[in-house]
Amino acid sequence: MAKLEIITAPDPRLKQTCRPVERVDDAVRRLMDDMLETMYLATGIGLAAPQVGVLLRVIVVDVSKEGRESSPLKMANPKVVWRSDGLVRYEEGCLSVPDNFGEVERPERVRVGYLDRDGAAREDEFDGVLATCVQHEIDHLDGVLFVDHLSALKRNIIIRRLQKARRIKAAAE
């Protein structure tokens, strides 16, 4: 497995609609495995392919607590096929929007269709933080970041902070 570089906003690649995986082949399996390693090293609970610059509909998720047995999910072409009427608010962060957080309201439960690491079609229902995380990752595949769910005011504050952080980093190089 290999560690990949995580790209941060504002980057045009994070705003693209990703294309579906045609077949879960060895290259897709390797991408899934590398993404999971990258996510663990960054101590994230999910990661979408565009965050490592690959514009394919692939996500990985593992919300298990540190030290507990891990339960990674690797999905190609994930799609929400059912969402609950009930909504929950959750404080979200994103590895591509470092050091910024905001409360996002999303369906409390979702049912998701996807292809697993063996290319088999599956459907699973998620709740709790897993439901929030899977929806956050699927958003990435359509070029949507959690800041896009915030008010324009909050979004602009975060975008300006990111641009400033980038300027400071560029000046130091």
Catalytic amino acids?
137
- Kindly list the residues in this chain that would bind ligand GNR in the complex (CB under 6 A): 44-48, 51, 90, 92-96, 132-133, 136-137, 140
User: How many residues appear in the chain?
Assistant: 173
Closest-by-Cβ residue to Ni ion is 94
The closest of 52, 40, 2, 32 to 118, measured between CA atoms, is 32
Closest CB to ligand GNR among residues 94, 115: 94
- 3-state DSSP call for residue 144? coil
| CB 135, min distance to Ni ion, A | 11
Closest CB to ligand GNR among residues 21, 130: 130
Task: For residues 10 and 164, give the distance between their C-alpha atoms in angstroms, rounded to a whole number.
Answer: 11
Closest CB to Ni ion among residues 94, 130: 94
Within 13 Å and on the Cβ side, how many CA atoms surround 104? Answer: 23
| CB 153, min distance to ligand GNR, A | 21
Contact 28, 21 (CB under 8 A): yes
Which of ligand GNR, Ni ion, none binds 133 (CB below 5-8 Å, type-dependent)? Answer: ligand GNR
